Amino acid sequence: MVKPSETEEAAVAGQESGLDLAVLPAQAPALTPSQLELRRLVVNAVTAATSKQAYGAALNHLFAFSAGRPLTRSLLQEWKSGMDDLAPSSINVRLSAVRKLVGEARRNGLLGVEEAASLTDIPNVRQQGTRLGNWLTREQAKELLAVPDRSTLKGKRDYVILALLVGCALRRKELAALEVETIQLREGRWVLIDLVGKGRRVRTVAVPLWVKQGINAWMTTAAIEGGRLLRSIRKGGKVGAGLSDWAVWDIVTESAKQIGIERFGAHDLRRTCAKLCRKAGGDLEQIRFLLGHSSIQTTERYLGSEQEIAIAVNDNLGL
């Protein structure tokens, strides 16, 4: 058993005891310095901010569930079985957080190799079928783009947000961090050069002419010459220094509500772009480059390429 002490020391004992979570309460302020360090190692093992948040929440849930019991294989199986109300992907994120916890404990001498192996081979939950998510039809996308009042400063900015999401398939964090200097001419057309996306993968994204025209109108009216493309707008029409990714989310959500669509987020516009590209005859490999996926199989799953909804194979059964 491994039980971090208040003096930052730890000792490795019997292989059957597991990692002691009794001193790892759910609330971070109650953690000892050694526990805070272990938690920091786990969170820092992932790069995306959303993953850091998800892993931290998962560990908090595990610490509360353990209620003083050491971390053993049987406890993990009990913890996993109590998550039946969650989606398979949510359960698997929590299990991934535990694997990171065990891995960091082993690397820091808090667990033996064999004991760590027994704690990390709890299998993920299989997710059957293809999760399609939400997307808009071409007509709905046009309707959404018509929502912002482009005669106003805010309307010009909001139009650019919607246009870059549905026209260039950006993630909202990529969009919020977009710099004017990223927009460059390459091979006679405008592109977003060297975007650093998920997994630190770098890609270049072509900008359709209609999107660039919207960007030009916003930059001219807001007097933006460099730095962040998207800015907050204060009272009196004063342009701020930047815009958060959650502000992007809110703008998309509220715009979608204006056309009668609830629970629609920024990532759904990224999926809409991919879907519309495919329906227009776009090559799957080129769509993969646009999205910045690591493999074409990821793009196929993302698009639900094996399943056609509008003209389904079972529409004409003759029954």
Mean pLDDT of 66-78: 83
DSSP, residue by residue, 259-309: TT--S--HHHHHHHHHHHHHHTT--HHHHHHHHT-SSHHHHHHHHTTT--S
Residues 6 or more apart whose CB falls under 8 angstroms from that of 33 comprise 6, 8
Q: Is the pLDDT of residue 128 over 60?
A: no
Query: Token match 């930047």: residue?
Result: 242
Q: How do residues 222-231 score in pLDDT, each as one tens digit? A: 999 999 999 9
Any bridge partners for residue 189, and if so which?
A: 186
**Nearest-angstrom CA–CA distance, 249 and 130:** 25
Mean pLDDT of 109-134: 74
The identity of residue 166, as a single letter, is V
Which segment of 11-25, 51-65, 155-169, 282-296 scores lowest on mean pLDDT?
11-25
Q: Is the pLDDT of residue 42 over 80?
A: yes
**Nearest-angstrom CA–CA distance, 44 and 104:** 10
Q: Is the pLDDT of residue 310 over 90?
A: no
Its CATH architecture, for the domain 138-303, is Orthogonal Bundle (1.10)
Q: Is 200 in contact with 267 (CB distance < 8 Å)?
A: no
Average pLDDT, the chain: 80
The identity of residue 207, as a single letter, is V
The H or E element spanning position 258 is helix 245-258
User: How would residue 209 be classed by pLDDT, with cut points 50, 70 and 90?
Assistant: very high
Predicted pLDDT at 309: 52
Q: Is the pLDDT of residue 243 over 50?
A: yes
Predicted pLDDT at 308: 53
Which segment of 123-137, 192-206, 276-290 scores lowest on mean pLDDT?
123-137
Predicted pLDDT at 236: 84
Q: Is the pLDDT of residue 292 over 70?
A: yes
Tell me the pTM: 0.60
Higher pLDDT, 244 or 49: 244
Domain-wise residue ranges, the chain = 19-120, 138-303
Mean pLDDT of 1-17: 34
Higher pLDDT, 3 or 107: 107
User: How would residue 152 be classed by pLDDT, with cut points 50, 70 and 90?
Assistant: very high
Mean pLDDT of 54-82: 84
The identity of residue 22, as a single letter, is A
> Residue 273: which of 156, 178, 150, 137 has the closest Cα?
137
Q: Is the pLDDT of residue 313 over 50?
A: no
User: How would residue 233 be classed by pLDDT, with cut points 50, 70 and 90?
Assistant: very high
Q: Is the pLDDT of residue 62 over 70?
A: yes
